[in-house]
Structure formats: structure tokens, C-alpha cells
Amino acid sequence: MEMTMQILILGAGYAGLVCALQTRKYLTKKEATITLVNKHDYHQLITLLHESVVGARSDQSLRIPLGRVLRDKDVTIRKGTVARIEPDNKRVLLGDGEELSYDQLVVALGSETEYFGIPGLKEYAFTLKSLNQARLLRRHLKSCFARYPRERRPELLRFVVGGAGFSGVELVGEFADALPELASEGGVPLKLVEIYNVEAAPGILPGFDPDLVAVAEKSLKQRGVRFLTGVPICKGGPRSGSFKDRGCDRR
């Protein structure tokens, strides 16, 4: 009698979720069991997190319940974190002590932010890879405007986004759109707000059509975004950072 294959997928991001759905298209329940492990019971639309940062989208709208996506797909959902993978024993140990065996394992646990060895970034910079991180950044943004009338520190109104790839440019675009309202609510003159997008490469949006890049850059500059290209960040701190511009340190 042919044994049913056990397929274990770790992570319900885009890769893990699509893997589960596509695998079930080609393998019946009798041919394979599919178990999907994720630390949340929902899938996060991480490509839209920049909208959540400024409140353009609710956090709830970026959570897609796994039970809804996988309804009637014969996929078992396990909520938990991965503590250890034992390939020799073909099993995975979860944080709560549960052990899951497998014949085929798919590891799709996401990615980690690359800090490129820059001192201080991991300790002091915000990252944007989850709804929780978007919520923290949103809270910080609003706090800066609320605190400025009392503290009068210019750095409270200076926002720096490192990296001018697709995600970085999307984020400064959302900042630019939201800042007039945030400034008005906080009683802060908009002219005092500074938005910087720092990029070590010679230009923004590498790999995109040059004409589209030019349009995006012009539009964002008109909304107050300041691009610093060819400028690598070299240090981050609790209240400041530094970067190199043409061989000179700037803060």
C-alpha cells in the first residue's frame, strides 16, 4: 500500500502560501498531507505596509486569515514558531514543544533586514517587514509631531529613509502625502518638516525604466522629498545618523 506523503511548509508569507495552494492543485489528499506552520493565523500583505505606516490603510485590511484562504484546500494550519529543524530525523520542533514529521520540507520563513555592517542601524533604526513594525513606526511618526511644539527640536521633524529601491521610494511617497495632515493636526508649520531618502547607488529605483524614474523623482521632489544619491549611510545613533557625501562625513 502506497504511503501518503507528508509535506511540511514553514511560513505563510507569499512563498509559503502559494506553495501550499499550488501543491494541492497537483496532489490529492490521499497522495499528500500538507501542513502549514506560521506564527500568526493570518497572512500579511507586506507589500502594502508603507500605507499602514501613515494610516492610509487599516492594519486589519492587511491581514488575510489563513483559514479563509485555505478553506476547502485540505491544508492543516499550525500556529507556532519554529524552534529547531532536524533534517537527519526529518522533523521540526515548534516553540511549544510540538514535533512535526515530514517527508518533504519547504522553508519559507521570510527574510531579515540587511544592515550591511553599518554600526548603530540595527539598534536604532526602524524596519518595515511586519504589521507590528508598521504600527511602531506610525506611533513614532505621530509622537514626533506631538512632541515638537513642546520640545522645539528640529530633529523631531527630520525623517530619513535609507534605501531608494521600490520599498524606500514607496515609503517616502506615503510620508509626503500624509505629512500635511500630520503637521496640521500637530500645529506644526509644514515648511519645518524634512524628508530625506538616502541611497548609496547613483540614482533611485535601480532597474526601472529611466523615464518612469524621472517622473517619480520629479513628483516626489515637488512634494518635499530630498534625495541624497551616491551617499552611503555609515552610522546610526539614538538621535542622529551620519553618511558620507563625496568623501566627507555629514550629520
User: How many Cα atoms sit within 13 Å of 222 on the Cβ side?
Assistant: 6
Classified as helix, coil or strand, 172 is helix
Backbone angles phi, psi at 10, to 5 degrees: -105, 115
Contact in structure between 80 and 93 (CB atoms under 8 Å): no
Which member of 51, 170, 174, 217 is catalytic?
170
170 is annotated as an active-site residue: yes
Distance CA 161, CA 227 (A): 10
66-75, Cβ contacts within 8 angstroms, sequence gap of 24 or more: 66/12, 66/17, 66/36, 66/38, 66/41, 66/42, 67/41, 69/17, 69/21, 69/43, 70/20, 70/21, 70/36, 73/20, 73/21, 73/24, 74/24, 74/29, 74/34, 75/20, 75/24, 75/34, 75/35, 75/36
| CA separation, residue 132 to residues 44, 52, 127, 137, 217 (Å) | 10, 10, 10, 9, 29
Classified as helix, coil or strand, 82 is strand
Positions marked catalytic: 170
